[in-house]
Chains A and B, each alone.
Chain A
Amino acid sequence: MLLAFDWSQLAQQTVIGLSSGALWALLALAIVLIYRSTGVVNFAQGEMAMLSTFVAWSLVHHGFSFWEAFFATVALSFCGGVGIERAVIRPVERAPVLTIVIVTLGLVFVVDGIARWGWTAETKSLPNAFSTRPIQIAGVAFSIQDLGNIAVSIGLVLLIGVLFRYTKLGLALRAAAINPQESRLLGVRVSWMIAIGWGLAAALGAVAGMLTAPALASFDQNLMQPVLLYALAGAVLGGLESPVGAVVGSLLLGVFVNLVGTYVDWVGNDLRLPVALAVILGVLLIKPAGLFGRTAVRRV
């Protein structure tokens, strides 16, 4: 060893990794929410988040501040998610899983089409949500934007956790996802609970999109495609059944991918996505239920 190891670089790269992982975690959580209630991975989750981000962009360009546009977009996305479930998922609610998967694949192209039809192909940019100045913590410089992304994501995840754990609506949402028929007998309107789940997922995705975009110099309709793949990898790593797993898995993946990209020369910036795909493959081969997934045990 000729050079002393640079610990501050490690800390910086870890936080950068956590920052992107936190945004993937939001999309991963959205995927898990829908997976638990509808039984499929919603492949359109990324495109829905992209469309939300475009809506936010339009609001900003009509004079709203970033945060005004942010909250308005979250609300609109929630309604949009509920609407999508009612319009295209409800009719196939009782169809085989493969049918629903194909519907979500169709949704990818429909949502993408809407974004290309309603907005021009020129690249766009969003103002930064947070100050771009660095901040010194224990002598190491971190970006406020990264720390802000982490804070917003963790805060949102905790909020969703409280909703599911401590409210009557959350209890009904969980019951409807685990035992739909039994829940109906208790008076839970299961079909609407699924729609609300789609609304929450769309809102989570919207936040992920709106925080992903400002960090880029510019973005277009392909904004969320890599994010969706990372989020899928994070969700698979944590366990598709587990909301906690999806969040932890995405954070771990964020750090891992960034550190590999930083310290392994030949990976660099270009091979990060394949690293995430390798993680998916590895998890599926070694521990298909993921880190937090429970293998289903049923008492009969």
Chain B
Amino acid sequence: MTEALLELEDVEARYGQVKALHGVTLEVAEGEIVAVLGANGAGKTTTLRAISGLVSREGGIRFAGKSIARRSPEATTRLGIAHVPEGRGTLSGLSVRENLRLGAYVRRDRAGVREDEGRVLGYFPWLEDRADQRAGTLSGGEQQMLALARALMLRPRLLLLDEPSLGLAPKVVAEIFRIVAELNEREGLTVLVVEQNANLALEASSRAYVLEVGRVALSGSSPELRRDESVRRSYLGY
């Protein structure tokens, strides 16, 4: 593999006294979709929060060759890391348009932002009609898509997606993964996605890591992991 876009080396993270990550090592190359699987409480969400800086962490985190292990969320966003958090991070009191505008908050290139607005609305045409609606009044699936659209407004170098399928109907989930795959294929968007639904995640990704109690228990190419006996039994359910 060539130089990785994102590298985690022995990353630990804690909430107060409780250690949630006990040394996670993983990497994501430019243009890849990488999945992180694991049971509830395995540290999937914490891994993403450690990358973007929402939780205090130790260990090595490098992004595009630079250490970001001490950067705040405000700073990692400015480096081009878009984090769609668990629960979608909808700014519920603001309108759809305002949510999208805040996605590009850190950007200074007005022309580029306008161009991206058109591009993003191409993927989610219905957002245009709902532009003035309060984001909190959208359905769960719509909010998830808004969160994705908003993340794209950053023109991110790396997209962190936390449980995009949570609480959504299968049809909506399929649509979301279809769009992510399309973004990856067409625009080379690099994605690190955390999912409980291992089937979906392994189908969408080229490589995957399996977390168990805050450590990487297993990693490999996604097709390989789908054939793996233990993964099948623990996460795929057959």
List A contacts of B90 (CB < 8 A): 179, 182
**B72 adjacent to A184 (CB under 8 Å):** yes
Given the known interface contacts A185-B52, A299-B92, the answer about A175 and B73 at a Cβ–Cβ threshold of 8 Å is no
Partner of A179 from B52, B89, B105 at Cβ < 8 Å: B89
Partner of A186 from B72, B103, B136 at Cβ < 8 Å: B103
Given the known interface contacts A168-B105, A171-B98, A175-B102, the answer about A184 and B73 at a Cβ–Cβ threshold of 8 Å is yes
List B contacts of A179 (CB < 8 A): 89-93
List A contacts of B92 (CB < 8 A): 178-179, 298-299
Name the interface size band of chain A.
10 to 19
**A194 smallest CB distance to B (angstroms):** 13
Q: Is A22 located at the chain interface by the 8 A CB criterion?
A: no
A interface, by DSSP: helix, strand, loop or mixed?
helix
Instruction: Give 1 or 0 for each of A205-227: 1 = CB within 8 Å of chain B CB.
Output: 00000000000000000000000
Which residue on chain B has the smallest CB distance to residue A294? B93
**B102 adjacent to A183 (CB under 8 Å):** yes
Q: Is A189 located at the chain interface by the 8 A CB criterion?
A: yes
Interface centre among B54, B73, B93 (most CB of A within 10 A): B73
Which residue numbers of A lie inside 8 Å of B, CB to CB? 168, 171-172, 174-175, 178-179, 181-190, 298-299
Q: Is B83 located at the chain interface by the 8 A CB criterion?
A: yes
List B contacts of A186 (CB < 8 A): 77, 102-103, 105-106, 150, 154
**A189 adjacent to B91 (CB under 8 Å):** no
A172 to B74, CA, bound (A): 13
Partner of B91 from A168, A183, A187, A190 at Cβ < 8 Å: A183
Instruction: Give 1 or 0 for each of B98-126: 1 = CB within 8 Å of chain A CB.
Output: 10011101100000000000000000000
Q: List 12 A-B contacts (CB under 8 A).
A: A168-B105, A171-B102, A172-B102, A179-B90, A179-B93, A184-B73, A184-B74, A186-B77, A190-B74, A298-B92, A298-B136, A299-B140
